[in-house]
Amino acid sequence: QKEVEQNSGPLSVPEGAIASLNCTYSDRGSQSFFWYRQYSGKSPELIMSIYSNGDKEDGRFTAQLNKASQYVSLLIRDSQPSDSATYLCAVLPNAGNNRKLIWGLGTSLGVNP
Amino acid sequence: KAGVTQTPRYLIKTRGQQVTLSCSPISGHRSVSWYQQTPGQGLQFLFEYFSETQRNKGNFPGRFSGRQFSNSRSEMNVSTLELGDSALYLCASSLVPVGSGTPRTQYFGPGTRLTVL
């Protein structure tokens, strides 16, 4: 059973701090990784995708991928109250003809003014 | 470019009834996936359609079915509703199936909130 695990939280950080969200996955051959943000009562929206080991930066967001250790993380710099949301990690396994995204349950983040 | 649209946004049904939900993907997107989201289970994959064919299916009973039309619009049907079917149903579209070749990003619609009484 391919799995994706995230700490459910809630993770609470003060405004301006760095929020660090982690995601581990069980399928070692996974190649594609996605971070989505979901505000309460809304649908998930893509923050970023990452496919190669290392860091990928987009504005205040940085995704970090370590395939050897089978984890992907999301760093949010200068956290704002508007970043308060649930962050979903999704992983695309590598094997099989009809691959589908495997989703974590999400980490709830609260940024305190 | 318009995003993914879903109708209706809210539905209230009673046990035993059936329901049909509709999804229109982003223009040019030919793949549509459906998910059920509940607080305890997170995002659960229902099925994916591409070119009017079901390409992938999750672990849901046969009461859940779907189809895709030639214009890529998709419908999802749930028959004989149960209380446990109360959830947010999300549709996501991508250019081609998520699992085909080069990774493809899914974009979600606003969802349909189904309440079964």
pLDDT of residue A94: 77
pLDDT value at residue A99: 80
Of the partner residues A43, A100, A104, the one whose CB lies closest to the CB of residue B45: A100
Residue B72 φ/ψ region, left for φ over 0, alpha for ψ in the -120 to 50 degree band, beta for the rest: left
CB contact under 8 A, B110 and A43: yes
| Partners of residue B45 in chain A, C-beta under 8 Å | 100-101, 103
Q: Mark yes or no for CB contact A44/B99 under 8 Å.
A: no
Judged by CB atoms closer than 8 Å, whether chains meet at A98 and B42 is answered as no
Q: Give the angle B52-B53-B59 at the CA atoms, nearest 5°.
A: 130
pLDDT digits (tens, 9 = 90+) for A74-92: 999 999 999 999 999 999 9
Beta-carbon-side half-sphere exposure of residue B112 (alpha carbons within 13 Å): 27
**Nearest Cα residue in chain B from A44:** B108
Contact B56 A92 (CB under 8 A): no
- Chain B CB contacts of A65 under 8 Å are none
Give me the average pLDDT of each 10-residue run along chain B (117 residues): 92 97 96 93 93 92 97 97 97 87 84 97
Furthest CA-CA distance within chain A: 47
Q: Residue A68 — very low, low, confident or very high, per pLDDT cuts 50/70/90?
A: very high
B55 chain-A contacts, CB cut-off 8 A: 98
Chain centroid to CA B103: 20
Contacting residues for A59 by C-beta, under 8 A, at least 6 apart: none
Q: What span, in angstroms and rounded, lies between the C-alpha atoms of B71 and B18?
A: 24
Asked if B92 contacts B23 with a C-beta cutoff of 8 angstroms, the reply is: no
- Residues from B in contact with A at Cβ < 8 Å: 33, 42-43, 45, 48, 55-56, 58, 88, 90, 97-99, 103, 105-111
Q: What pLDDT does residue B105 have?
A: 86
- Predicted pLDDT of residue B109: 97
pLDDT of residue A9: 85
pLDDT 10s digits, A43-63: 999 999 999 899 999 999 999
- The whole-number pLDDT of residue A2 equals 64
Bigger pLDDT: B39 vs A13 = A13
